[in-house]
Amino acid sequence: MKPNFFAAAVAAAFVAAPALAVVPLVDSPITVTSADVGKSFTYNYNGIGGDPSAVLPGLKSAITFTLTGVAGNVWSFSAAIDNTLSDPGTGGRIVSWGFDGNPEIVGATPLVGPFGTAVINAGFPQIGGQTTIDFCLTANNNCQGGGGGGLAAGTTGNQTFNLLFTNNPTNSVIFNHFIVRYQSITGQGRVTSGIGLGTGGGGFDGEGGGVPEPATWAMLLSGFGMVGFAARRRRGLASVSA
Using CB atoms within 10 A of its CB, is residue 107 exposed (0-12), middle (13-18) or buried (19+)? buried
Of residues 115, 120, 86, the one with CA closest to residue 232: 120
Give the pLDDT score at 10: 40
Which helix (H) or strand (E) covers residue 216, if one does?
helix 214-221
pLDDT value, residue 147: 77
Cβ neighbors of 164 (< 8 A, separation 6 or more) are 73, 74, 105, 106, 107, 108, 109, 238, 240
Per-residue pLDDT, 214:
45
pLDDT in the model for residue 102: 97
Length of the chain as a residue count: 242
Q: Find out whether 90 and 108 touch, Cβ atoms under 8 Å.
A: no
Contact between 194 and 95 under an 8 Å Cβ cutoff? The reply is no
How many Å is the Cα radius of gyration of the chain?
19
Q: Are 44 and 211 in contact (CB under 8 A)?
A: yes
Q: What's the whole-model pTM score?
A: 0.77
Of the candidates 202, 100, 118, the one whose C-alpha atom is nearest the C-alpha of residue 159 is 118
Residue 164 pLDDT: 98
User: Under a CB-based contact definition with an 8 Å cutoff, are residues 196 and 23 in contact?
Assistant: no
Per-residue pLDDT of the chain (242 residues; tens, 9 = 90+): 555 544 444 444 434 444 444 567 889 999 999 999 999 999 999 998 765 557 898 999 999 999 999 999 999 999 999 999 999 999 999 999 999 999 999 999 999 999 999 999 988 765 545 678 899 999 988 888 777 899 999 999 999 999 999 999 999 999 999 999 999 999 998 888 889 999 986 689 755 444 444 444 444 444 444 333 333 333 343 434 44
The string over 134-144, giving b where at least 16 C-beta atoms fall within 10 Å of a residue's C-beta and e elsewhere, is bbbbbbbebbb
- Between strands 131-138 and 91-102, the pairing is antiparallel
Q: pLDDT at position 146, please?
A: 74
What pLDDT, on the 0 to 100 scale, is given for residue 129? 57
124 bridge partner residues: 131
* Cα distance from N-terminal residue to C-terminal residue, the chain: 70
User: What are the residue boundaries of the structural domains of the chain, listed by start?
Assistant: 20-226
> Cα angle at 201 between 225 and 126, to 5 degrees?
30
Q: Which residues contact 10 (CB under 8 A, 6 or more apart)?
A: none
Beta bridge partners of 198: 45
